[in-house]
Amino acid sequence: MANPNASFNRDYLHSPGTIFVVNQQPYDSKYILTSLGFLRRMLDYSTEVSAIELKLKPEANTSTVQAKIEQMLGEEFLVQDRYQQQADVFRIMEIEKLISYLFLTFILAVACFNVIGSLSMLILDKKDDVVTLRSLGADDKLIARIFLFEGRLITVSGAVTGVVLGLLLCFIQQKFGLISLGEGTGAFVVDAYPVSVHAWDVALIFITVLTVGFLSVWYPVRYLSKRLL
């Protein structure tokens, strides 16, 4: 009977005394780091390679380099950046990011009822002052603009304060790892929750807060001021 072990390449591999792990089951159970010569003997390769990974300089443009490599190699080879190699993971992250944005926008809209209530109380409290302004010649448009300015000032102040505090928390998280991923170290590739700040995200948040805040200011000023005053 033929020896089934003869169908496999066999060789000895001596451990250098250290083991490289990333503490992620999908990777630690499937991949090992070894010498190129040992791997070629196991796979019966001479000069062939299954994949080549390139590390670009920080100032290099990934899309430009990728396009040039594709032009050099042709359509027989697949050229992907790290985002394309993990497309499913990054797609899930984008969906989670969108859901978080919509959920927090809804919370912001609910919180803006406090602004509506505050402006309504302010309009009621300033009824005597409004009468004085009207006696001095101020029309309804001028009075409405005063209350609009007050509400918009509250919105802008809150938006600026929130963005500054958010950026400060992100900076603290990046430098000191305020929020950890687990009780012990070594459970993940990084010990602290990773944070990346993007200018477009900050601008989108700021614009969203201003938009929702200005809309919440418009209602009590345009509607309640006419009824209550």
How confident is the model at residue 68, as a pLDDT? Answer: 93
Q: Hey, which of 37-46, 132-141, 182-191, 198-207 has the most confident mean pLDDT?
A: 198-207
**Residue 123: CB partners within 8 Å, gap ≥ 6?**
147, 220, 221, 224, 225, 228, 229
Percent of the chain with pLDDT strictly greater than 70: 90
What are the tokens at 164? 């500054």
pLDDT band, residue 202 (cuts 50/70/90): very high
pLDDT tens-place string over residues 125-137: 877 887 788 888 8
Tokens 């984008």 -> residue: 94
> For the chain, percent helix, then strand, then coil, each to nearest 5?
65, 0, 35
Global pTM value: 0.72
Tens-digit pLDDT profile for residues 74-99: 888 899 998 898 888 889 989 999 99
| CA distances for 152 relative to 142, 160, 210, angstroms | 15, 12, 8
Interatomic CA distance for residues 53 and 197, integer angstroms: 27
